[in-house]
Amino acid sequence: MSMYPLRDWSRRHEDDSDTVFVRDLSANAVVGVDAWGRKKKQPLQISVKVSLAQPFASAAEQDQVDQSTVHYGLLSKAVKSMIEAHAHEELSLASMSDKILDAALDSWSGAPEGLMDAIQIWVFLPKASLLGRGIQLHYCHSFSAEKSYGAKARVLSVRDVMVPSIVGVNRHERGMKQLVVLNLWIDPLWNEEASDSYGEVEQLMVKIWFADVGRALQTVEEGQFETLETLATKVASTVIKHFVFRALAGAKVRVRAEKPSAVPDATASGVEITRRSGLDDQFANQVWAECGRQIPSRIPFPFPLTGRLDEYLESKPS
């Protein structure tokens, strides 16, 4: 089965298919790691969306759930039963998404062949981030022979990490810190073993450092930056350099950086960038050169990483 970037996978399924979904199904399980890096039971929210190969015309005409559609009640029960059956088992975030897919397929065991075109699964861990809103894995799977049966996409995201920092070009922004909200996506997550490394990624997002002439290296929280463009680019390069090259070579990193307080009449203002880690890309090649064209041997970082990233790097042998 092929693993595609989400945008490429989505292009194969960009149509007006009828869909059936369950959103934010709540449960508790030993999945991934908690905000402190521990394998402990934690809350999760599961969303599932099924795209049908054909419109559910007969179900609509007869006003009943028939074999032209998917029974979302049975789907919900199957997912909940699966989680209860594995209540005491330690599962990675990727393994949980696979088991949700298996539970969904079991709930459709009597469905006619070719009913489903594709399925998308979101597993959200609201308590798995110390500084953010949570961690999410987005998993997609194709059932269509015409659209590459078994084609998959898997994206890991760290959501709404809030860091106080001095950011801005305006005079009034230079004297006080304001909250910067960072979101980061890694796509595709082709290495399932990396699905539980989001704590390390979050640390890299907030402990990146900036060199400035005549000034010590600083973290995001310590720093004084004029543009979100610089901040977002440095976040991307740091995560690629110290995580993606080692664990997910070839994956793209998308970063969104926002300032909720910058524009009074707007919810937020910000920038969003996508940077590639493939060595055929100019940006990735520049980052690779900064690594000495070899994967740094000083990682993975300890969790939690005490102090600053530059201090940790300097304390370890090359």
230-247 pLDDT, tens digit per residue, is 889 988 998 998 899 988
How many Cα atoms sit within 13 Å of 7 on the Cβ side?
8
What is the tally of helices (H) and strands (E) in the chain? 9, 11
**Residue 36, token pair as written in the block:** 């402190």
pLDDT of residue 217: 43
The pair of structure tokens assigned to 246 is 């080692």
DSSP characters for 130-164? SSSSEEEEEEEEE--STT-TT-EEEEEEEEEEEEE
Burial (CB count <10 Å: 0-12, 13-18, 19+), residue 131: middle
pLDDT of residue 212: 44
Q: Among 31, 232, 241, which residue's Cα sits nearest to residue 137?
A: 31
For residue 112, give the DSSP letter. Answer: P
Mean pLDDT of 101-109: 90
pLDDT digits (tens, 9 = 90+) for 140-158: 999 876 655 678 999 999 9
Confidence of residue 174 (pLDDT cuts 50, 70, 90): low
First to last CA, the chain: 38
- pLDDT of 59 above 60: yes
Burial class (CB in 10 A: 0-12, 13-18, 19+), 118: buried
